Structure 1
Amino acid sequence: MTSPKPNVGAKIEEMSFPVVGKTEPVTIGKPTDRWTMLFVYRGKHCPRCKRFLNKLNAALPAWTDVMNIVVVSADTEEKAIADKAEFGWDFDLAYGMTVPQMRSLGLYVSEPLSEAETTDQFAEPGAFGIRPNGTLMLVDISNGPAARPDLEELLDGMKFNIENDRPERGTA
């Protein structure tokens, strides 16, 4: 079962996630001084996620010049630590996203195909542009690992949206 589409223009539910190597969690949905881009990935078991996150890491300075970046999955702390160690990503890596949190964002939720994949339900990919006031401006969700936003195009679009204070689209 998938939740209804996220309500762009509305405040998103405040959510906190633990972060690898940090004592303080990262929180989305509360007011901040900058825009936030939330990237949800499938987890350690997904090689397509690694390619996407490696591309994000390579472009990270361009992203962090414009907004805060939050990357999260439903993975356990152990899996997140292993990914961070293996790939050496510079972004903070959050973990422990719950199924209710996934559903509140309208993400597709999948059952593992086998224990070799993973053992618990996990979120399919999503990207969410969140205004400093905690309202949702942009949504990109997928029901599987093969559909991801083009990071260069997404960043260019987000810069335009921010600089021109563009309204939410898709609300008609």
Structure 2
Amino acid sequence: MTHPRPDVGGPLGKMQFSDTTGAMITLGQPKDRWTMLFVYRGRHCPRCKRFLNKLNDALPAWTAKMDVVVVSADTMEKAQADRAEFGWNFDLCWGLSEAQMRALGLYVSDPLSEAETDARFAEPGAFGITPEGTLMLVDISNGPAARPDLAELLDGMTFNIDNNRPVRGTA
């Protein structure tokens, strides 16, 4: 099976997500700030919770430099339950479609059992998006064990932003 890669250096393509407050978040169009999009597996994943708790702890440093959006394929009810349980302060979105997963180049998994979850879901990913809506950085995994180090990722993104670094990996 071939796995299409996202087009770094190209436009992300417009994507809209609802967040747990009812607001609509739109990515892939011009805005005044950089955005870091994190895709998580969903409410069923304890590794995602640990990762997102770390992100929430570091959120002020992240939001000083860019917007942070987190999304899963979960239902609104599951996302709201996560927000209520963990008190996360980032934009927490739900309803990532399979077409959006594939457009981002994410790996897609079927649940191992109904106890895990009841629908296909995306494996983790992180995407740096320029203010123009260009995909600048991509980090994806095919399972829950591989995640970027948040401090290193923020440091690298800050360097890229502050020094107007070009997109890499396009040769």
Task: Give the TM-score normalised by the residue count of structure 1.
Answer: 0.97
Unaligned runs of 5+ in 2: none
2:143 and 2:161 map into 1 onto residues whose CA distance is 29
Is residue 100 of structure 1 aligned with residue 99 of structure 2?
A: yes
Aligned partner of residue 62 in structure 1, secondary structure:
helix
Alignment of 1:81-100 (within 5 A): 81-100=80-99
Is residue 7 of structure 1 aligned with residue 7 of structure 2?
A: yes
2:19 and 2:3 map into 1 onto residues whose CA distance is 26
Residues 137-167 of structure 1, C-alpha deviations (whole Å, 9 max, x = no match): 0000000000000000000000000001101
Alignment of 1:7-156 (within 5 A): 7-22=7-22, 24-156=23-155
CA contact (8 A) 1:129 1:136 kept: yes
Residues 13-65 of structure 1, C-alpha deviations (whole Å, 9 max, x = no match): 1000010023x210110111000000000000000000000000000000000
1:82 and 1:92 map into 2 onto residues whose CA distance is 14
2:24 and 2:10 map into 1 onto residues whose CA distance is 23
Q: State percent identity of aligned pairs.
A: 72
- Deviation (angstroms), 1:92: 1.6
- Deviation (angstroms), 1:5: 0.5
CA contact (8 A) 1:2 1:109 kept: no
The aligned amino acid for 2:107 is Y
Runs of 4 or more above 2 Å deviation = none
Residues 10 and 104 (structure 1 numbering): CA distance in 2 closer, same or farther, change over 3 Å? same
2:91 and 2:160 map into 1 onto residues whose CA distance is 24
2:35 and 2:21 map into 1 onto residues whose CA distance is 21
- Deviation (angstroms), 1:89: 0.5
Task: Give the TM-score normalised by the residue count of structure 2.
Answer: 0.98
2:31 and 2:21 map into 1 onto residues whose CA distance is 22
Residues 2 and 94 (structure 1 numbering): CA distance in 2 closer, same or farther, change over 3 Å? farther
2:3 and 2:165 map into 1 onto residues whose CA distance is 26
